[in-house]
Structure 1
Amino acid sequence: MAAASVRDNKAQSRFELDVEGTLAFANYRLTPSAVIITHTETPRALRGRGIGSQLVHGALQLIRADGLKVIAGCSFVVDYLHKNPEFADLAG
C-alpha cells in the first residue's frame, strides 16, 4: 500500500508521499501530546485518485506509532477521520 511510503519530514514539519515524481504533503504543528495537521496538499494532476487519503492514512499510522494524538486542523483530515472510525482513538 502506498501509505507505507509516507514519511515524516521533521525538518519541514510535514508528512510526505512521493507519487509519480511529485509530492503530496500534510503540514503539521507538534505539541507535547498531539500532532495538529494544518494543511494537506495533493498536486492537481493527482487529485481524485485517493492520494490525499493515502497520505493521511500513512500520517495517522505514524502518529499512532509515536503514541500521540491528532488534531484535525484542516477540513480534509476532519472528513477522513469521520469516514475512518478505526482512527477515532487518535482524536485529540
Structure 2
Amino acid sequence: MSDPDLHVVEQIDGAKGRYTIRTGEGAAEMTFSIASPVLRIVDHTQVPRSLQGRGVGRALFRHLVTQARAEGFRVVPLCPFVSAQLSRHIEDADLFQI
C-alpha cells in the first residue's frame, strides 16, 4: 500500500476536525482543533495495528502538510506522531508552531 493508494477524507464540525483513511483492514485518523483560520492544533493520530508500518500515518501527515500549505494555516503538533514526523521532515518546519 502506498500513499497514492490512500484516500484521505477531511471532516470538520465547528472547531473540531479529522482526517480519515479507511481501508478494508480498518480506519486511521488524525484529529485536530481549529484555533483560528490560520492555526490548527493536532492532538492525536490513531493507526490500527493492522495498518501500522504501511505508510498510513505518513499519508495522514503528508495530507496535513499539503492542506496547511494550500490553505495557509500553521500547525501546533501536540500529537507525538506528528512531532516525530516533523523531526524527520524538517523541510516542513515552516508550517509548524512549536
Normalising by structure 2, report the TM-score: 0.82
Partner of 1:81: 86
Greater Cα radius of gyration, structure 1 or 2:
2
For residue 86 of structure 1, report the CA deviation from its aligned partner: 2.2
| C-alpha distance in structure 1 between counterparts of 2:64 and 2:24, whole Å | 19
Question: More strand per residue: 1 or 2?
Answer: 2
Q: Which amino acid aligns with 1:47?
A: Q
For residue 18 of structure 1, report the CA deviation from its aligned partner: 2.1
- Tell me how many residue pairs correspond in the alignment: 91
Contact residue 25 and residue 51 of structure 2 kept, 8 A: no
Could you list the runs of 5+ residues in structure 1 that have no partner in the other structure? none
| C-alpha distance in structure 2 between counterparts of 1:44 and 1:66, whole Å | 31
| C-alpha distance in structure 2 between counterparts of 1:52 and 1:13, whole Å | 16
Normalising by structure 1, report the TM-score: 0.86
Alignment map for 1:59-78 (pairs within 5 Å)? 59-78=64-83
Between the aligned residues of both structures, percent identity stands at 29
**RMSD value, Cα:** 1.6
| C-alpha distance in structure 2 between counterparts of 1:86 and 1:16, whole Å | 24
Partner of 1:27: 31
| C-alpha distance in structure 1 between counterparts of 2:70 and 2:81, whole Å | 21
